[in-house]
Structure 1
Amino acid sequence: MTAVTDFAVKLPDGAEKKLADYAGKVLLVVNVASKCGFTPQYTGLEALYRKYKDRGFEILAFPCNQFGAQEPGNAEEIANFCSLTYDVTFPLFGKIEVNGEGADPLYDYLKAAKPGLMGTKAIKWNFTKFLVDREGNPVKRYAPNDTPESLEKDIEKLL
């Protein structure tokens, strides 16, 4: 696999979604959780999505329960929480693992393409973000404490 758009991922109902459907768009891929100190970032992520979606920007959110069991819900509970609490309209995918033997292949690819500080590949916590250009190439990795607002200039450059 040589681009994010070469992968397929699971939807909340278990059906497969080809990321090729997002070809030609700027993507922000983020592992999310409903009971995390960074959960309020949903507000900033939704603001970015609404501001830039008409210019070819998409946020792909992947619920993950690997960090402090902060995403214990099922697909319906996660969707309801995101919709009712943060009015999230960007796509939420099926719950995944981002580290270890069970890591989703998309995340293995992203981690290899854009390692973290000092070359570490592991995702450190929820709300780690990857910015992907229109060709499906990972451009930059952001730490969980990097706010969605702080990514705006990088997103604009790719749009």
Structure 2
Amino acid sequence: MSIPKTNAMRILDTRNIAYEVHQYDNEDGQIHGTAVAEKVNLAPEMVFKTLVAHSGANLYVFVIPVAEELDLKKAAKAAGEKKIEMLPVKELLKWTGYVRGGCSPVGMKKLYPTFIASSAVELATIAVSAGKIGMQMELEPKQLAEALDARFSELIK
């Protein structure tokens, strides 16, 4: 069966970046990271969530392992800001074009400064949302960083 392409996948395709799609059933409402990792049969340290934070009018994207927590002080330091806070979930769609649980770092409305947890560098591949609840895409962390002009940083508590 063919998989419908998401905007995130099309962007990777145009950049000739290889990825593998993992689909999962989300009917049970379990779309939090560790449940998704289990459903796509990947270790939680390989599955990364996309978090959006802001400092004033500046938005930043942080990609960290699903079982970890973003350290806002480290995130602010990486972004070169004094203080940073999470973007309210109700504003996610407006700024990124994505909904909670289906927020991909690839293909947001704008290319925001993006930071990927440095633990990703040690892995052959990581999985991130493909831009739709029920779909993950697995790819090389360095290629993801290249596609997003992202930097690897210390981000987790």
TM-score normalised by length of structure 1 = 0.28
Q: Which has the higher helix share?
A: 1
Q: Which has the higher strand share?
A: 2
TM-score normalised by length of structure 2 = 0.28
